[in-house]
Chain A
Amino acid sequence: MMSYLEEHYELIHKTPRLFALHVTREQLLDTLHQITTHTSFDTLSQLTCTDWIEEERFELGYMLTNALRSHNLMLKCSIARDKVTMPSLALLFAQAEVMERELHEMFGIGFEGNETLYDFALEGWCDIPPMRREFDTLAYVNAHYDFREGREDNLDVKEEIKKRKAAAKSAKETPSGA
């Protein structure tokens, strides 16, 4: 299994049981086909995405595992953030369908050939895909939600601690019964 990979690819040994290799978008399907045909890495177990906004790219990770579940191989593929489509793996792996659906919703990545890219966990979402780095959670919350009454004094923990210390100090300085 490993000899084939080492012979044909620049394999990165992360641990004795975890390997990685880099592929381009164009090489992805062919590489997957070769690996699933010639090695025992024949199961897709996870599809990850990391937003490297400062480098203007997404890094997708196709995590493969073998039938014995003893080793993992991650195929890493970088794509430009503004050109976000990938070929779907749904025909190769049935489980890719829902994984791609999630990444489509969270990062706005299109998967050509996947017919199920409708809402996943967010219903009727029309803002920036929320897992993109430019999506500001705090700004979104401030714009869409009101703070519940009675919790204002807990908004700034540092201020609250200062207030409590000042109150305790003042109580100490003021004689009881005064």
Chain B
Amino acid sequence: MERKVITIYHGPQHPGITGNMSVELDLMGETITRARTHVGYLHRGFEKLIERRTIIQAFTIVCRICVPEPDPNEANFALAVERLAGIEVSERASYIRVMVLEMARLGAQLLWMAGQSGSVGLGTVGQWSIYDRDLILDLFEQLTGGRVYHMYIYPGGVRRELPDGFLERLSALLDYLQKRLDAYDRLFFDNASFQKRAIGVGVVRGEEVLRRGFSGQVLRGCGFARDLRRDNPYLLYDQLEFDIPTQSAGDVYARALVRRAEMRESIRILRQVIAQMPEEGAIMQKLPKHRKFTLPKEDTYVAVESARGEFGYYMAGDGSEMIRRMQVKGPSLIHAFSLLEPLLVGEELSNVALIMNSLGICPPEIER
């Protein structure tokens, strides 16, 4: 019987694709013989728009660069502007920033769990984890006025003081989530259905992975304890205690286990923040007026560890109130092209969504 190669497009309209992206697949039966990533379905030209805007105008755009995880963008933007403009941030504002980033990390991991469980048909997990993420979003709404896009971390500090009783409510939510993580172990991570689908699939291994620019759970899932919060610390992470979980198998399941442990570490960090945050102190430095807020003709690079890996901003000023160049470097560009394309070859069609989710690919961040 003649064996025929057929080509199909997995996405952009597909429940198993992480956002607006498409993977062109050549199939021999169910087996993938070639994969090509296509992006551009969500190109909004943000980097171009930012070049024509003042700092506060650009600030309203950056959080939209990555929908599931906007806060690392705000942090990067603020850190880069502060470094170029020579602005120091108060200790209290730094603690609040760490709190926001860890809440965002927890929310992003819960959202990831919904996507990953959906890709193996465990729909209940997603219903639970989206509900739990919503509880985090409720707190974000109290703090910032926004649920998904917060526009809260601004150069100089943060934009609003904590509402009354906020830390108590956050503490109560952490108690609740801690118990829920045990339930997620039973429902999802220790579930034989998920284990059978995830173990031995999408394996990334070897020393070479460090040279190829991968980050996040891809590195930690194959044994490399790399995390910018400890390796190249920013804000107050060097004053907080937390572990960097690793696994050695390098497969989809290993990356899931890393995420599972990271959620517990985020709760641990948040508890320290609640205990250590100074009760008083400025949350925002005095800044130049809107049109006089200029950046010198210099450049810099800042990066934070997002829930999916290294998230960096290159920023250059030119002496004017506009940002001359801001270029985003998220983990997705390399993961979606240099990693996903070869990784899919030889895999079954049914594993595409599973592997994509495990790599933490967020298309909006690729094309900006």
Contacts and interface: CB of A to CB of B under 8 A. Distances in A.
A65 B231 CA distance: 11
Taking chain A's interface residues, is the majority helix, strand, or loop, or is none over half, making it mixed? Answer: mixed
B325 interface: yes
B173 interface: no
A131 B39 CA distance: 17
Contacts of A43: 210-213
A46 interface: yes
Interface string B294-331: 00000111010000001010101000000011010100
Interface string A30-56: 000000000000111110111100000
A119 B83 CA distance: 35
Given A95-B213, A121-B39, A130 B299 contact: no
A74 interface: yes
A48 B232 contact: no
A46 B329 contact: yes
Contacts of B316: 50
B288 interface: no
A96 B51 CA distance: 25
Interface residues of B, number: 37
A122 B338 contact: no
B40 A99 contact: no
Contacts of B325: 48-51
Contact of A130 (B45, B52, B211, B312): B45
B40 A63 contact: no
A169 to B, nearest CB: 27
A14 interface: yes
Contacts of B97: none
Interface in B29-66: 39-40, 43, 45, 47-49, 51-52
B225 to A, nearest CB: 10
Contacts of A99: 333
Nearest to A74: B301
B300 A14 contact: yes
A70 interface: yes
A50 B324 contact: yes
Given A43-B212, A50-B325, A74-B301, A130 B48 contact: yes
Given A18-B301, A121-B39, A131-B48, A94 B232 contact: no
Interface in A60-102: 61, 63, 65, 67-72, 74, 93-95, 97-99, 102
A2 to B, nearest CB: 15
Closest 7 CB pairs of A and B: A121-B40, A98-B337, A121-B367, A50-B325, A46-B329, A95-B213, A69-B231
Interface of B: 39-40, 43, 45, 47-49, 51-52, 83, 210-213, 215, 226, 228, 231-232, 299-301, 303, 310, 312, 314, 316, 324-325, 327, 329, 333-334, 337-338, 366-367
29 contacts: A42-B210, A44-B213, A45-B312, A45-B329, A46-B312, A48-B314, A48-B325, A49-B327, A50-B324, A50-B325, A65-B213, A67-B210, A68-B226, A68-B231, A69-B232, A71-B232, A72-B303, A94-B212, A95-B212, A95-B334, A97-B337, A119-B40, A120-B367, A121-B367, A123-B40, A130-B45, A130-B48, A137-B49, A137-B52
